[in-house]
Structure 1
């Protein structure tokens, strides 16, 4: 059993060392390539300032107002009768 543990420990050390060396080589190569290409660190993004989200009620009301305006225009153009206009208006205001 001690021989098995020693073998597992040796394998873990070798694998860990190989990983560390591989990572170091990769970082060094990336640094060299970046230097050859004149790479510069991108500027830090500006601080994010989110606008407060529009409330669903406000968005919904804006949509309803737009629909009512369109209905009014259709009525003025003679496309809708007074009864049709009133029916559609009730439908929009109910939802």
Structure 2
């Protein structure tokens, strides 16, 4: 009968225990890494969706501004003069509108001439 050691495990037992611990750590680490990657991917997709929504809103605002500018140009300067004093009385925030126009110009959706015309219309 072999003699059984009491106390510390032998070399084979120590190697087996180390392999189990290393395997468990690798499995847990891999699961955590996959979870983190999935979370990062979800956040990225959410940011892309929000950016697309914001871009769509900006394009709609730009199209509306261009349509208003074209309508004002078609109506002539006589119709534009009475409309200008009515806008501040209606509660339009001129500073906010100017900031929107400046943002559209910076994005390249409005040219410098279109920006100047829209600004003149707001201030005029």
**The TM-score by the shorter chain falls in which range?**
0.3 to 0.5
TM-score (norm 1): 0.42
Q: Which structure features the higher share of helix residues?
A: 2
